[in-house]
Structure 1
Amino acid sequence: MDINSALSVPLSILAAIAFLKFLLHKKNNNHKKNKKLPPGEMGLPWIGETMDFYKAQRRNRLFEEFVQPRITKYGKTFKTRLMGSPTVVVNGAEANRFFLSNEFKLVISSWPSSSVQLMGKQSIMEKQGEAHRFLRGVIATSLSSAGLEAIVPKMCETIQLHLQRNWSSGQEKISLYGQTKIVTFTIVFKCLFGINVERGILETFGRVLDGVFAPPIKFPGSKFSRAKSARLEIEKMLLDVVRQKRKEMEGGTVRDGKGMLLSQLVAGLVRGEISEEEVVDNIVLLVFAAHDTTSFAIAMTFRMLARHPNFYSILLQEHEDIIRNKRPGETLTLEDTKKMKYTWEVARESMRLFPPIFGSFRKAIVDIEYEGFTIPKGWKVLWTAYGTHYDAEYFRDPMKFNPSRFEEPVQPYAFLPFGGGPRLCAGYQLAKLNILIYLHYVVSRYNWSLLYPDEPISMDPLPFPSHGMPMKISPK
C-alpha cells in the first residue's frame, strides 16, 4: 500500500469530522439567530449603559431616569449592558414571581465581586441550594415566635435607654436618621447576637458599606481598599467573640438566652455543620441586612407622617390605646405589636413609595424562555421593586400616600421591600418589630416635627436622607 492509500482512510475521517463540526456550528448559529432577545440597547462595548445607570442611582432616581423611559420605549422587559454584563431588566408582579420563585432552578443570586469580598464568600447571599436552606433554617429558628417573644423586651429596653440618653437631655433638635442607625445597629448586635457595641464599631461597619459597590481595586486610599481594611478589623473582633462563645458552649457556661442567633450559629460550628468563616461572614451580612435598610424605612415612615397629619392622628390613637391597657412601666410584648395594625399599614405604604432596596441581580444558569423572549445562559437579570410599587396595575393612584390600600391582601410579588422567593429577607420579622417598637416609643413620648419634610433622598450605595432628617423634639 502506498502512502496516499495509507492516508486516505484517516483523511476521510478527518474530513467527515470537519463536515460534522461545520453542520453543528451552522445549526448552533441558526439556533442563536432564531432566539428572540428582548428589545433594548446594549450601548458601548463592556461599559454599555452603566454610566447612565450610575448617574441615576446617585440621584436616587433609577426608576424615573433609567427604568421608566426604557419601559415606555421597549416594554416591561428590556435588555441593556451594565457593569460589563448583558442584562435583562424585568418589571411587574408576574416577572418577579417567575424569576424570584425559580431561584436555584433558572437563576442564582449575582452580586458584584466587591460585595462578595466585603460581605463574605461564605455568607448566605452566596450560598446555593441545600447550603442556603440550612443557613436560612438556622436564622429562622432564632426568629421563630418563641425567639421573637424573647427579643421584644430586649428591643424595648434598648430603644428606651437610647431615647433617655439621646432625646431627653435638653436637646431640641436631633438627626433622626443618624439616631435610628445607632438604635438599629445596637439592636442587631445586642438583641440578635448578644455582642456589646464597642465605641467606633458602627463607623467601622460604615466604612465597609462604602465599598460594597465600588470597583474591587486594592490601591491605597481607594474606597474598596478602605472597606477591605475595615472588614479585616471587624473580622478580627468577631473571631474573638465566636471563639469565646464556642469555649463557653463546649464548657457548658453559656449565660444568654437560647434564642440568640450567635448561639445558634456557634452550635452549628460545634457540631461541625458550618465553619468559623461561615459564622463570621453571616454575622457581617445580617448586621448590614437588618441595619441600614431598617433605619431608612423608619426615617421614611416619619417623613410620610409629617406630610400627612391626619394619618398621624389615627396612628397616635392606636398607640395611646395600647398604653391605656398597660401598667405604668410595663414593657411591650409581641402581642402588643400585633395590635399595631394601622402602624404597620403606614410603614408598608412608606416602604412602597421609598423601598429600602431598589431590587437585585440574578444570573441565568440556563437559557430562559420568558414572555416570548430568550434570556441566554450567563446573562444577568435585574428585578426592581419600583417596577411594581409604582405601577397602577397593582396600586391604584400609585404616587398617592394611602395606608388603607394595605387593609386588603396585596397581589403576591407586587410589594417587595424585603425581596421574595427563597431569598426573601430572613430577618424581615426583626425589621418589622424594630419599626413598630421604635415608632411606639417616639410617638407616645415626644412631640416632634421635621425641619425639611421634602428633604432630597440620595444613594451611596443605599438610599438615605441627604441631610440626615433633622427633627425638632420635645418630651410630652
Structure 2
Amino acid sequence: MGLPWIGETMEFYKAQRKNQLFEEFVQPRITKYGKIFKTRLMGSPTVVVNGADANRFFLSNEFKLVISSWPSSSVQLMGKDSIMEKQGERHRCLRGLIGTSLGYAGLEALVPKVCNSVQLHLKTKWHGQEKVSLYRSTKVLTFSIVFECLLGIKVEPGMLATFERVLEGVFAPPIRFPGSKFSRAIKARLEIEKMLISAVREKKKEMEGRLEGGEEDGFLMSRLVSGIIKGEISEEEVVDNMVLLVFAAHDTTSYAIAMTFKMLAQHPNCYALLLQEHVDIMSNKIPDENLTLEDMKKMKYTWQVARESMRLFPPIFGSFRKAIADIEYEGFTIPKEWKVLWTTYGTHYDDDYFQDPLSFNPSRFEEPIPPYVYVPFGGGPRLCAGYQLAKLNILIFVHFIVTHYDWSLLYPHETITMDPLPFPSHGMPIKISPKLL
C-alpha cells in the first residue's frame, strides 16, 4: 500500500506525467500480484482491476455496487450538479435530456453545421499556411463545434483560454492559496459560470416570450432551458452540465484526431485505403455539396483507423469508482468506501483480446469486438454521452483534410505527455500544402 496516507501516489503521478501509467505503474504490479491488486492513491485505499470481466462487473454495476468517484478538485471545477456527480434516476433523467440532441435526428442536423465549422476553420486558420499545429488547431475547432454547433453559443475571444485554465486544476490538490493551480482554476470557473448563466437566462427569457415556448432551433442549450421552464432541471444543473460537456468533448476528441493522423503518417498503406474511401464519397457529390449522415456511414475504414488509434492511444486512462457496499470479487472482499480504478489499457494492450496488441491494425475492427473489451469511451450507464459527437468530429475533419491537403508530420516520433490529459508534447506540427484537385 506504500507510505501512510500518501501510499503510491507519487509513483502514480510520475508515471502519469510521462503517459506511462500502464507501462510503469500498472503492468509491473500485474506481473507481481495479478490483474487485481490494491494500493493507496491520493489518500484512498484503491483496488486496481484489469480485463473485460472486471470492466463488465464494475461498469455495469454503477449505482448498485459502485458510484463514480472523482477527486474533490474535479467535482468543484466541473460542478456538483453535473451528470458525473449524479446517481441513479437523476443521472438517467439528465443524461436523457442531453441525449436528445445526439439521437439520429440531432446528428442529422449536426452534420452540415460541423461541416461548415470545419471548412470555415480551415479557410481562416489553414489557408496560406505552410505549417500548422494539428493538435492546437483541432482544440480550437472542437471547442467551437461544441459551443456553436451543439449548444448554440457564439465563441468569443478568450473563452478557450479561460476553459483551459479550469482544466489545469482538475487534478490539482484542492488548496486555495493565491497563485496555486487550483485557485487560478476556480477563478476561471467563476468567469465561465457568469458567462453561461447570462446565456441561459437570456435564452429562457427569449423562449418564454414566444407563445409556444418551443425549442425549434435544435440546439442543446434550448432543450436544457426548456427543461428549466418545465421544472425538469435546475439552472445550476444546466450550467454544470454545459461545462462538463465542453471539457468532455473537446480535449479528448482533439487527442483522438491527432493520434489518428500520427498513425496514418506511420502507415502509408492504411492512408492510401482511407484516402480512396473519401475520394469515392467526393466523386458522388457536386462541388461544395455538404456531407450527410449517410456519408458518415460510408466511412467504415476511416472509423476503423480512428478506433484502432484510440485503442493504442485511449483519450482516457480509465476512471475511479467508489464501493458503496462490501464487494465480493474474484475471491477478494473490496471494503465499502474503498476506491476501484478500472483501466482502458487492461484490455486494449492484452493479447487475450487483441492479437499482437502493440501493432497498428485497423482491420481487427472488421469483426465485432466483445462488450467491455474496447472501452475508450467507458461503458455501462456512464458510457460517454458525447460519443456520437466525437465520431462526427473525427470523420468530418479527416474527410476535409485528406481531400484538400497534402500533409506530413514534422516530428514523426513526437512523445506524448499528460497535464492532466494526454497530448503531443510539441502540439503535433504538420507541413501542409493545398491538394491539386
Partner of 1:344: 303
1:194 and 1:256 in contact (8 A); partners too: no
Partner of 1:167: 126
SS in structure 1 at match of 2:290: coil
1:454 aligns with 2:408: no
Match of 1:400 among 359, 375, 381: 359
| Normalised TM-score (structure 2) | 0.98
SS in structure 2 at match of 1:468: coil
1:292 aligns with 2:241: no
1:129 aligns with 2:78: no
1:434-445 aligned at under 5 Å gives the runs 434-445=393-404
Match of 1:260 among 216, 219, 228: 219
CA–CA distance in 1 between the matches of 2:254 and 2:9? 28
Partner of 1:29: none
What amino acid is aligned across from residue 104 of structure 1 in structure 2?
Answer: F
Identity %: 78
Please report how far the alpha carbon of residue 232 of structure 1 lies from its aligned counterpart in structure 2 after TM superposition: 0.3
Partner of 1:191: 149
Please report how far the alpha carbon of residue 51 of structure 1 lies from its aligned counterpart in structure 2 after TM superposition: 0.4
Partner of 1:223: 181
CA–CA distance in 2 between the matches of 1:65 and 1:445? 41
Q: 1:363-402: CA deviations, max 9, x gaps?
A: 0000000001110000000000001000000000000000
Structure 2, unmatched stretches of 5+, are none
CA–CA distance in 2 between the matches of 1:454 and 1:87? 34
SS in structure 2 at match of 1:67: helix
Structure 1, unmatched stretches of 5+, are 1-41
Please report how far the alpha carbon of residue 171 of structure 1 lies from its aligned counterpart in structure 2 after TM superposition: 1.0
CA–CA distance in 1 between the matches of 2:217 and 2:27? 48
2:215 and 2:223 in contact (8 A); partners too: no
Provide runs of 4+ in structure 1 moved above 3 Å. 253-258
Partner of 2:162: 204
CA–CA distance in 1 between the matches of 2:306 and 2:234? 37
1:152 and 1:333 in contact (8 A); partners too: yes
SS in structure 1 at match of 2:84: helix
Please report how far the alpha carbon of residue 166 of structure 1 lies from its aligned counterpart in structure 2 after TM superposition: 1.1
Partner of 2:137: 179
CA–CA distance in 2 between the matches of 1:431 and 1:257? 24
2:82 and 2:244 in contact (8 A); partners too: yes
CA–CA distance in 2 between the matches of 1:265 and 1:376? 38
Q: 1:8-37: CA deviations, max 9, x gaps?
A: xxxxxxxxxxxxxxxxxxxxxxxxxxxxxx
Partner of 2:377: 418
What amino acid is aligned across from residue 153 of structure 2 in structure 1?
Answer: I
SS in structure 2 at match of 1:355: coil
2:81 and 2:237 in contact (8 A); partners too: yes
CA–CA distance in 2 between the matches of 1:166 and 1:235? 29
CA–CA distance in 1 between the matches of 2:290 and 2:126? 19
1:305 aligns with 2:264: yes
Match of 2:334 among 375, 380, 394: 375
What amino acid is aligned across from residue 355 of structure 1 in structure 2?
Answer: P
CA–CA distance in 2 between the matches of 1:300 and 1:436? 13
Q: 1:410-447: CA deviations, max 9, x gaps?
A: 11101011000000001100000000000000000000
Taking only aligned residues, the RMSD between alpha carbons, in angstroms, comes to: 0.9
CA–CA distance in 2 between the matches of 1:161 and 1:100? 39
SS in structure 1 at match of 2:403: helix
CA–CA distance in 2 between the matches of 1:289 and 1:88? 25
CA–CA distance in 2 between the matches of 1:68 and 1:117? 32
Aligned residues: 434
1:455 and 1:466 in contact (8 A); partners too: yes
Partner of 1:463: 422
CA–CA distance in 2 between the matches of 1:76 and 1:356? 22
Please report how far the alpha carbon of residue 257 of structure 1 lies from its aligned counterpart in structure 2 after TM superposition: 4.3
CA–CA distance in 2 between the matches of 1:343 and 1:43? 44
Please report how far the alpha carbon of residue 256 of structure 1 lies from its aligned counterpart in structure 2 after TM superposition: 7.4
What amino acid is aligned across from residue 176 of structure 1 in structure 2?
Answer: L
Please report how far the alpha carbon of residue 259 of structure 1 lies from its aligned counterpart in structure 2 after TM superposition: 2.5
1:12-411 aligned at under 5 Å gives the runs 42-168=1-127, 170-252=128-210, 257-411=216-370
